[in-house]
Amino acid sequence: MVNNKKQEDSGKAIFLLALLCLAVVQFIFFGLITISYHRYLKSRYFIATEGTSIRRINDFNAIYKPLYAIVFAPILFVFFLILPMMMSNVELYGVKSILFIDIPMLFLWLWLSVILFRWLALAHFGVIVDPEEDRIVFHFDQESYNFTDYLKLKFIRDLPKVDIVCLSEIGQITRKRGDDLYLLGSFGSRRITFTNKQKRDECIYAIQHSGRTSAKVPIEFEHT
């Protein structure tokens, strides 16, 4: 009994140590992915030269959501899947555990970490209003997802993706709810979310003065 207790305590200690090591690896290795993806976004969508009219709206506070997700999501994800094993009599690091729990969990951890750290890069990158290329680049709008999209985990897979709308196709801009900005036009509708009204209105100004659209903000939304 004593030996079994020691083995169980040793298994839990190894698990916690492994979790800590994964967290360290996550921030070092995947941090490089954030830097790399940010550079990619900048080289593709924000080529600013002297005299260019391109504008970048950098909403720095937007990075907190992905940061919270990076800190808590993978840890909680692993914890709640491993918890039933820790509370049972199943050997924590037996062959079956490694094959059916640990290895799949490792791949899920890696998959989720790559997405979250790329999302962090996109959140810091912000919104690009580029009159020269007739486009506005922003975080992918998930408001039109249906039930099937959620089953396919698109709400996770699309976190680091950008959406692009032609400035010349924007027919109307609304800002009815909170800090969100809505673009309406031949493409349908898109939502751009900001963390404060200052950044939202900065984006509206950049769109309206891009020279590519005559879109107006309706009077009824001006003071909301």
- pLDDT tens digits, residue range 46-90? 987 777 789 999 999 999 999 888 877 766 666 666 655 555 555
Look at the chain and count its residues: 224
Distance of alpha carbon 160 from alpha carbon 34, whole angstroms:
10
Looking at residue 24, its pLDDT comes to 72
Sign of the alpha-carbon torsion through 137, 140, 145, 148:
positive
Looking at residue 12, its pLDDT comes to 61
What is the span of the domain harbouring residue 193?
A: 2-221
Q: Could you give the count of Cα atoms lying within 13 Å of 34 in the half-sphere of its Cβ?
A: 19
| Max CA separation in the chain (angstroms) | 79
Which of 68, 17, 63 has its CA nearest to residue 194?
63
CB of 54 within 8 A of CB of 128? yes
SS3 call for 208:
helix
Looking at residue 100, its pLDDT comes to 63
Looking at residue 113, its pLDDT comes to 84
- Which residues on neighbouring strands pair with residue 164, listed in sequence order? 137
Looking at residue 213, its pLDDT comes to 85
Which of 215, 51, 36 has its CA nearest to residue 136?
215
Looking at residue 143, its pLDDT comes to 82
CB of 163 within 8 A of CB of 206? no
- Which residues on neighbouring strands pair with residue 165, listed in sequence order? 136
For 38, the token pair is 């940010």
Say how many domains are in the chain: 1
Residue segments in the chain with a per-residue pLDDT below the cut of 70: 1-16, 18-20, 22-23, 26, 74-103, 177, 219-224
Output the pTM of the full model. Answer: 0.78
State the DSSP code for 189. E
